[in-house]
Amino acid sequence: MLEGVLGVTVTGAGGSTVRIAPADAGLDHAVGTQWTERGQVGVDWTRTPHWVNTMVDVPVNVTATIALSVVPGSDYHLAGADVWYLGVQDGRALSRVGSGRSTSMAHQQH
């Protein structure tokens, strides 16, 4: 159930990589942690019709790909250590983050 609500999926051997993809519909907010072989992945995401904001805490020696629903006409803002915007694929804006706390936000321009 946590995987569906928080959107966390372990994608690499021994928990070396994870994907965080909040659901496109349903809940507007979720917060929690999911255990992996390398420690807890913390996720706090909020979605409205005009923006999506995701804050994650990634364990040491883990890389996460954050996949946010595309918000039409939006800018993407990333903050944290070792954060890279990867572009849009399959209707999701992708970013890669390293260990520690990072924030990814898609905000519709006015």
Domains and CATH numbers, the chain: 2-108 (2.60.420.10)
| Residue 61 zone, left/alpha/beta (φ > 0; ψ -120 to 50; rest) | left
Share of the chain above pLDDT 70, in %: 94
Return the pLDDT at 1.
47
**Residue 109: band (very low, low, confident or very high) from pLDDT cuts 50, 70, 90:** low
Contact predicate 106/71, CB 8 Å: yes
Return the pLDDT at 73.
77
pLDDT tens for residues 32-85? 999 999 999 999 999 887 778 889 999 999 999 999 888 777 778 888 878 999
**Residue 2: band (very low, low, confident or very high) from pLDDT cuts 50, 70, 90:** low
| Nearest residue to 21 (alpha-carbon basis) of 59, 76, 68 | 68
pTM, to two decimals: 0.87
